[in-house]
């Protein structure tokens, strides 16, 4: 089956941590997280929650067309710092940082 698209597909790179049950519980216990859910910070540095491969992930999309390993590490540190603001007592070392592409078709 052929399909003509008016706009080309958009590919974005997502970087973040899997939102585990433990992390979700810790986040839901904090007032800062509850405020963030009600009124999320807008901007390229804010965290988002996305579904991917039957799991939820928390992190951010990259706007960069090309990324180095150093760029990915900077984003990992920024996402980790943001999560620590919401749940300072949670040990993020138990989580695995993930990077994956997503294709958006308009």
In the prediction, which pLDDT does 63 show? 77
In the prediction, which pLDDT does 59 show? 93
What percentage of the chain carries pLDDT values higher than 70? 90
In the prediction, which pLDDT does 42 show? 59
Which pTM was predicted?
A: 0.81
Residues of the chain with pLDDT under 50: 44
In the prediction, which pLDDT does 2 show? 59
Query: Residue 51 in 3-state DSSP?
Result: strand
In the prediction, which pLDDT does 105 show? 78
- Extended beta strands in 1-106, E state: 10-18, 48-52, 55-62, 97-104
In the prediction, which pLDDT does 58 show? 93
């Amino acid at each position: 089956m052929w399909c003509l698209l008016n706009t080309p597909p958009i590919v974005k790179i997502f970087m973040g941590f899997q939102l585990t049950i433990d992390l979700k519980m810790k986040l839901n216990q904090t007032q800062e997280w509850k405020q963030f859910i009600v009124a999320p910070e807008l901007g390229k540095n804010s965290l988002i929650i996305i579904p991917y491969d039957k799991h939820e992930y928390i992190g951010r999309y990259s706007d960069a067309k090309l990324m180095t390993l150093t760029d990915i590490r900077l984003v990992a540190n920024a996402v980790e710092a943001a999560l620590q603001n919401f749940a300072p007592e949670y040990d993020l070392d138990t989580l695995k940082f993930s990077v994956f592409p997503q294709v958006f078709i308009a």
